[in-house]
Amino acid sequence: MSVFDHDGIQRRLAAPADSSPVRVREVLAKALELKGLDADDVVSLLGVRDPELLSECFETARRVKAEIYGNRIVYFAPLYISNLCSNECLYCAFRASNLSIRRKALSQEEVRSETEALIAQGHKRVLLVAGEAYPAQGLRYVYDSMETIYSVRTPRGNIRRVNVNIAPLSLDEFRELKKRPIGTYQSFQETYHEETYRSLHPRGPKADYAWRLGTFDRALDAGIADVGVGVLFGLYDWRYEVLALLGHIRHLEARFGLGPHTISVPRLEPADGSELSRRPPHEVPDEDFKRIIAVLRMAVPYTGMILSTREGVAMRRAALELGISQISAGSRTDPGGYGGEGTAGQFELGDTRSLGEVVKDVLRMGHIPSFCTGCYRRGRVGKDFMDLAKPGLIKRHCLPNALLTFAEYLCDFADPELSRNGFGVIDGMMAADIPDDPLRVRVRGLLDRVKAGERDLFL
């Protein structure tokens, strides 16, 4: 299956890029039209080296994100239910031959315990993650785990949406997955460079490059509304990966009329038992990583961008200003890790702060923490979501829902200082960012109900 133009990417990267100030500013003006960028535009931005011009790129990315998503930051946490795996990914601690970690698939009681621990932090959405092998129940194990997560109710809340990151499925399996109340189906190509991919995945089902590349076509053919794409930066030339990822996105847009719901931008981090992970074959310096985030934000403005706790605090702060709209917080990457009975994680974490610490930090930066899951449950998914996101109309729903879910968090989890500061920010945003009087009155009424003890109110 051809989902991007490998030869065209090679030609573009081999030719001198026009990254002159005139050309770059032309591309930045185009980016502000919020209709995305093509491959030639992206090549021009990837070639910028002048610090002043690069700052203009970063500022444009910030403006694009603000126009589409405002200043809200959505939170989630990964919930690893298993580290069983039949693949031999040379950069991953979970690879089949790694004998230095203890293998574990959580029982449903342990899944319940992990869910309770995440709810106790304040989380409302999780990303279910499993190694690419399952216990004897097969996919039924994943479905049972989803049902367990949704079933947990505590005095401090519940998980309202489960996204999933599991092995690529067949068309029929995706149809079966669609029967479950999932949010986004997420899978990473890892690297789009086929020769590199084959060398890094020598054994296991994941060794089939074409099968993995066709994952999202099968998912969307099966009716899955939202998919999440990503690259593991550091395995191959990051410029190639950005262009290939963009090509994949344009393929999905052309074939299905919609692109991905999210783009993840993980960088290779050290993993237990993997020497390759400690010496990335194509290390991505911090400045280039920031450029990746900014360029993708401008190229695909309507898509949510995710940054995990792989990155350290300083990079996470910088990335929020460049286009990231979703972050994990208080994360563990080992089955059982939230309850204190975990194993070795999939990779080393760069940001080990609690959710509460991250919330305070993000609020100080001028962003509004959001735990919203309203779009999934209102049916604003797939094309319906894109129709609102592309012109920037999604803010009419997302900002009020962000304020309502943040108010919940403040009522249920905040200390007095955070509560005082947080409600002050909410009041300021109500006045400045919801200019529609009827909508403001409606949201104010819902906020009063949250303060009075009602929960899970959303537009």
pLDDT in tens, 330-373: 999 999 999 877 677 899 999 999 999 999 999 999 999 999 98
Residues 6+ apart with CB under 8 A from 459: 374, 378, 397, 400, 401, 442, 443, 446
Q: How confident is the model at residue 133, as a pLDDT?
A: 92
Same domain? 11 vs 81: no
Q: Is the pLDDT of residue 375 over 90?
A: no
Q: Is the pLDDT of residue 457 over 70?
A: yes
Q: What letter would DSSP give residue 2?
A: -
C-alpha 417/C-alpha 20 separation (Å) is 49
446 or 2: which leads in pLDDT: 446
The count of structural domains within the chain is 3
CATH number for the domain that contains residue 87: 3.20.20.70
- The reported pLDDT for the residue numbered 392 is 60
% of the chain at pLDDT higher than 70: 96
Same domain, 100 and 189: yes
In a domain, 332, yes or no: yes
Mean pLDDT calculated for residue range 219-228: 96
Shared-domain flag, residues 77 and 221? yes
pLDDT band at 19 (very low <50, low <70, confident <90, very high): very high
| 169 and 102 share one domain | yes
Statement to judge: residues 254 and 305 lie in one domain? yes
3 state DSSP class of 445: helix
Answer yes or no: is 187 within a domain. Answer: yes
Average pLDDT, the chain: 94
* Alpha-carbon gap, residue 387 to 267, rounded angstroms: 31
C-alpha span between 459 and 363 (Å, rounded): 23
Specify whether 421 is located in the same domain as 301: no
162-187 pLDDT tens trace: 999 999 999 999 999 999 999 999 99
The predicted pLDDT at position 395 comes to 63
Can you tell me the distance from the alpha carbon of 287 to that of 284, in angstroms, rounded to the nearest whole number?
8
Residue 355 CB-half CA count within 13 A: 27
CB 60: neighbour CB atoms within 10 A?
22
Residues 104-144: tens digit of each pLDDT: 999 999 999 999 999 999 999 999 999 999 998 999 999 99
H helix or E strand, kind and range, residue 429: helix 416-433
Given 30, 50, 66, the domain boundary residue is 66
Residue-level pLDDT at 176: 97
User: CA 426: distance to chain centroid?
Assistant: 25
Q: Give the largest Cα separation in the chain, rounded.
A: 63
Bridge partners of 190?
231
396: domain range? 392-451
Question: Which of the two residues, 398 and 117, has the higher pLDDT score?
Answer: 117
77 pLDDT tier (thresholds 50, 70, 90): very high
Is the pLDDT reported for residue 437 higher than 90? no
Examine residue 228 and state whether it is found in any structural domain, yes or no.
yes
| Structure tokens given for 108 | 């449903």
Output the pLDDT for position 342.
64
**pLDDT per residue over 242-301, tens digit each?**
999 999 999 999 999 999 999 999 999 999 999 999 999 999 999 999 999 999 999 999
Q: Is residue 387 part of a domain?
A: no
End-to-end CA distance of the chain: 40
Within-domain flag for 214: yes
Summarize the confidence of residues 10-29 as an average pLDDT: 96
Closest alpha carbon to 202 in 86, 83, 89: 89
Classify 325 as helix, strand or coil: coil
Residues 114 and 43 in one domain: no
283 CB-near residues (< 8 Å, 6+ apart): 234
Query: What average pLDDT does range 196-208 have in this prediction?
Result: 97
Q: How is residue 304 annotated by DSSP?
A: E
Structural domain contains residue 457: no
pLDDT-derived band at 24 (thresholds 50, 70, 90) equals very high
- Is 200 in contact with 243 (CB distance < 8 Å)? no
What are the E-state strand segments in 231-345?
262-264, 304-307, 326-328
Say if residue 384's pLDDT is above 70.
no
Packing angle of the helix pair 139-151, 108-121 (nearest 10 deg) = 40
